[in-house]
Structures are given as structure tokens and as C-alpha cells.
Amino acid sequence: MILTGGLKSLLPHVLRRIIRCNRLSISNTSGMAEGYKQANVVILHKSLADDFEKFCHANDGPLPLLYRSKLGDWKCPSLSTDSDIRTDCLQYRIYEHGACTGSLKSLKEYSQQLKDMVTFYLGCSFSFEKALQNAGIPVRNVEQKCNVSMYKTAVPCYSVSAFCCNLVVTMRPIPESKLEAALLATNELKEAHGAPIHMGDPGLLGIQDLSKPDYGDPVHLHPGDIPVFWACGVTGVEAVINCRAPLAFTHSPGCMFVTDLKNDNVTARFSREVPQVHCISQDPLHYSIVSAEAAQKIRNLETLIGIDPGERGIIHLQRQDELLKACLAISHARSVLITTGFPTHFTYEPPEENDGPPGALAIAALLQALEKEVAIVTDRRAMNLNKKIIEEAVQLGILKRPVPLLSYQKESADSALTFLCENGNPGRPRFDHLVAIERAGMAADGNYYNARKHNIKDLVDPIDELFLAARTIPGVTTTGVGDGGNELGMGKVKDAVKKHIKNGDVIACDVEADYTIVAGVSNWGGYAIACALYILNTCEIHDRYLRKAVGFPQLPKKMLWFSALPSVTKEEKLLKTLVQHGVRSGKTASLEMEVDGLPFYNTHSLMIEKLL
């Protein structure tokens, strides 16, 4: 028998010849013939071949098609010069009517049946392991001399005819400091599954226990390692099982076909294609990715809205990349709850100001276009007013449909948890992300103050409690948008508010959000969130990560999303509607076309144009 020591430096045709002679003492091909592409193998009856090819193209993350053989052909001339698919994998599996009925070292005894079958060669993540090592990234399964861990997930692939299954992934532990390097090393290697599809908590993929892989071996994490998941070609095995073909063959997971093709590193052609990694949640741990170009566009939005026309000193409250991180978190959310409403004009009816609702509706409109669930929670006393505003926003074409309108009252110690989660169960949250925009925030003394230190507590329902409760619910993140420091969520920067904002020692909100977006006018923060979500969802790198590299890119929906963005015309009509309902400018209490004392024309209208 030949031992494993020198196998990593063997040329592929030599390695295949040794495998063909059944002279190896290894159980998988990880680390073998370093620098050459390896392939998953699926062999199907000719009647299923066209549909399986379509299935591969529809799910090209897990199933990058390297080659489809001709009918009954055991060779693959574009991948290797002297191969025979009947003998050149370490081990095969035979499937009959969806059941694995055995493992084989050779398929020669099935040569007659193979004449009516077609072989598919699919990219494999073993191909990029050398690229990871070249980037200085440890490959734990190679270090531990074992097969890579493979897991079935809860992520459905795009179905084609009889082929339907959930995504299978490989997991490689990566040191946290090397996450971006791992992403860069694999992003352009599309034929080896490309960039990771998930970084962080395995539970977010429906994987319950990393120590119990569905295929392969357990790979142990070192302290500081993050589980990183790539789409896996064993997805094809799951598709074969579910299609219940009378007869099919696959490689045995980890026992790949080694090709003659060099797996040359491909460097990103343009800087805009370089992906970045950002942590968006600690509990559960979750990282997202975005292109450098998209991230810079969002940073530009953050800079635009950060001007201080009211000269309040908000520059001292701003934190870099809060807009980017908040919108990455929202982009991954399934359901979003928005709150707004600041009854600063307590001597008027209604007491609301007109900063907040337009920004909230701008966010809601884009979320609707992205097909996410969205609801708004506000004060019970303001329900009728907000219902009318939402109805007119639909008539004006700002919203596609009415947004569900909710109110919250504290009735027991568990009221907030019951509101946010099904049956109060933190494991079943109704919302993944909460956004507060120009919402009165509770100060340290339990009261609510406008900018002039007037206590307006009797007009404000305790929606802050939802944000406090959200901090105890795994997977629920929060964003606060404000322009003065007394808004819900601004507790994250309360020390700066107390130091730099007029009356800050009294009015500063004590309740913090995970992300704090500070804008010259809060509506601008809402517009920027909508624009940033548009940028993210039109970013190919982020789109692929969102859909876990299965199904098709969502870019054809780009024009639909764009039409949902705020515009000068839409915001002008909405502000006129607010004026008609007696909703006043925050700073002046004027019923003119202004927000926070700043004229709509040539101030707010210009900001909208710049953001777009």
C-alpha cells in the first residue's frame, strides 16, 4: 500500500493511476495533488440528464458544472487526458430508488448499464484548500488528517422537475482574524464553489450540532476559530436520493475525481469586486459580506446625511459604518418592525412633528419591494392619524399596500416579550429587526423630553420596552435613527449627547440600539436606509450571500426596487398630506412645507436628490 506522505505533490494522472490500482491507504482526497481541481461525480440515466443539468445551472454555488459527458462515455477529455470514471475515484456509492445500497471501489461491473448513463463532474471545495494555505489560512481538516465536515441544511435549493433537495455545505474553522482573507482567497474560484455562503452560528443554517456531520468527519475548532460554510457538491447526492432514480452512482463524499486542471488563483479584476466581511450580530454570531464598492457608496450616504444644518453638535454623536452595519442586518431580516412618533408639540393636536413618519414610510416602502414583512408600532392615541397617513401613502404610490399598524401597552412584566415573540417564546421571534426613527426615547429618569426639556411622558407609550426586550432575544437586532440624542436608540451615544448637545444632561435617551444612525434630520436617515438597502441588494456579492448561492440572482428586480425609493415628488406629496393633517415642523411648529425649520424646497429636496 502507498502511504499519504507524498500524495499532495503527485501529479493528477499519477494519482489517478494509483487509485485505479487500488493501492492507497487514504479515506479521502483532501490535500491530494495540491493545486489541481477536484470534482464531485454524479452519474444518471440519460432520461434524467437534461433536468439535472438545469438543476446545476439553477444552483451553481453548490453545483458548478465542470463537464457533462457524452452518453456512455467514461472519459472527460476537457478535464483529464487518460481517465476512466469507472475506476478513478477512491470510492463510489450506488443508489437504487433513492436508497444507498452499497459502496464500491470500481464501477466496471456496471459497464453495460453505464452505456445508457451520463456523468456530471461538479466543482469541489478541496480545490481551493491550497489557495487558503497560500493566503496563510490554516486548513483544519488537512491539519487533523481527516475528511472535511459536511452538513445538510434547512436551505432549499431551486427545484427542477424531479430534482429537489436542501443545500449541503462544508464547514472549515477559520480564525476570526483571517475571515476576510478566506473570503478573498475563494471569492473568484467559482468552479470550486466560490465565496462562503455563511459565517458564524451553524443554527442559522439549521445545523444543530457541528460534532455530528451528515457526511465526512468532525473537524475540531481551535480557540478563536469561526465556523465558515461553503456550498458543497454533495448537494448533488441529496438531489439523486430525492429523485429516486432506479439506478444512479456518485462518488463517496470526500473521495473526489482529481482532474488535470490547475486551480490557479484568480485575483479580483477591479477593486469594486473585492468583498468585505462585517459582523452584524453577536448572539447568534453572524457575519455578512458586501463588495468594497457597495460599502463605499453606503459610507458616502452616511457622510451626506451627517451634515448639521441645525448646528446641534451632532458630529460628536456619529460613529462610522453604523449605517452599513444596520442595513446589512436589515438585509438579512425576514420581518422588520418600525416605530416613529415624537409628540414634541404638546400644546397642539395632534402633537406629532413631521420628522420621522416620512423616513419610516421610505424604509417600509423599500422593505415591501424586497418582499420582507414590515409593520409599524406607534402610540395608541395616534393610531387613527397614522392609519390615515398610511392609507394616503398607498394612494400616492409611496407604499405598495397598507403597512400593518400596531400599538403596545405594558400589561405585565412579560408584555414586551409576548409582543415580540410567538407565545412569548424567545426562540420564535415575530420580528428580526426593530427600527426606531425620530421616536421619543426614555431618559435616565424614566421620562421623555423634547429638545427644550419639556416632559412629554403622558403622550408616549412605552415602546422603548420592546427595544430593551429585543436585547434578550437571540437573533433580533435594533437600529435607532435620530438627530438630537433624545430619540429611541440614542442610548448608545448618551455620553456624547450629555457632553455636546444642548440640554443633553436631561434629555439624553438612555435606551440604546445595536446600531445608531445620526443624521442632520431624522428623515434623511430613513431615506439613507432605503437607499443603502437598494445598494446592498443590487450588489452581486451580497445578493449571492443572501440567497446562499442557490437559485438565481435577484438583479432582474432592480427596477422594481428603484421605483420604491423615495423621490422629491413622492416626499413633496407626503409632506403636503402631513400638513393637511396638522402635523407640524419640529423646530417651529409651522404648518408650512418645512421639516425641523428647514424648507422642503432647496434643502430636503436637494438632500433626496443627492442620496439618489
Question: Mapping DSSP to helix (H, G, I), strand (E, B) and coil, where does residue 9 land?
Answer: helix
Assess contact for 351 and 459: CB atoms under 8 A: yes
Residue 494: burial class (beta carbons within 10 Å; 0-12, 13-18, 19+): buried
Residue pLDDT, tens place only, 114-137: 999 999 999 988 888 889 999 999
Residues 6+ apart with CB under 8 A from 14: none
Residue 265's pLDDT is: 45
- Residue 148 CA to residue 159 CA, distance in Å, equals 26
d(CA 493, CA 482): 11
- Per cent of the chain over pLDDT 90 is 86
Alpha helices in 317-463 (DSSP H): 322-332, 357-369, 383-395, 415-420
pLDDT reported for residue 1: 36
SS3 557: helix
430 SS3 class? coil
Residue written as grid cell 444632561: 505
Report the distance separating Cα 517 and Cα 435, nearest Å.
10
Task: Tell me which residues of the chain have a pLDDT lower than 70.
Answer: 1-7, 9, 23-26, 264-272
Q: What pTM value is reported for the model?
A: 0.93
According to the model, what pLDDT value does residue 437 have?
98
What is the 8-class DSSP label of residue 485? S
Mutual angle of helices 357-369 and 383-395, in 10-degree steps? 50
Domain ranges of the chain: 4-124+237-262, 126-235, 275-611
Contact present, 125 and 38 (Cβ < 8 Å): no
Q: How many CA atoms lie within 13 A of 277 on its CB side?
A: 22
Task: Please answer whether residues 149 and 216 qualify as being in contact, where contact means their C-beta atoms are separated by less than 8 angstroms.
Answer: yes
In the DSSP assignment, the letter for residue 128 is G
Q: In one letter, which amino acid is 431?
A: F
**Residues for the chain: how many in total?**
612
Give me the half-sphere count of Cα atoms (radius 13 Å) on the Cβ side of residue 413: 0
The type of residue at 119 is T
Question: How many angstroms from the chain centroid is the CA of residue 31?
Answer: 31
Q: Residue 87 and residue 106: Cα distance in Å, rounded?
A: 5
Strands 225-231 and 166-175, by their bridges, are antiparallel
CB atoms inside a 10 Å sphere around CB 71 = 12
Decide: 151 and 213 in contact? Cβ < 8 Å. yes
Kindly report whether the peptide bond that precedes residue 429 is cis, defined as omega within 30 degrees of 0.
no
Domain 126-235 has CATH 3.30.2040.10: yes
Task: Note whether 126-235 and 275-611 share their fold.
Answer: no
Quick one: pLDDT at residue 266? Answer: 46
- Report the topology of domain 4-124+237-262: PSTPO5379-like (3.40.1640)
Sign of the Cα torsion 360, 365, 368, 372 reads negative
> What's residue 137's pLDDT?
96
pLDDT in tens, 400-422: 999 999 999 999 999 999 999 99
Contact 141, 188 (CB under 8 A): no
Pick the CATH number of 275-611 from 3.30.930.10, 3.90.1640.20, 3.40.50.150, 3.60.10.10: 3.90.1640.20
| DSSP element (H, E) containing 236 | helix 235-243
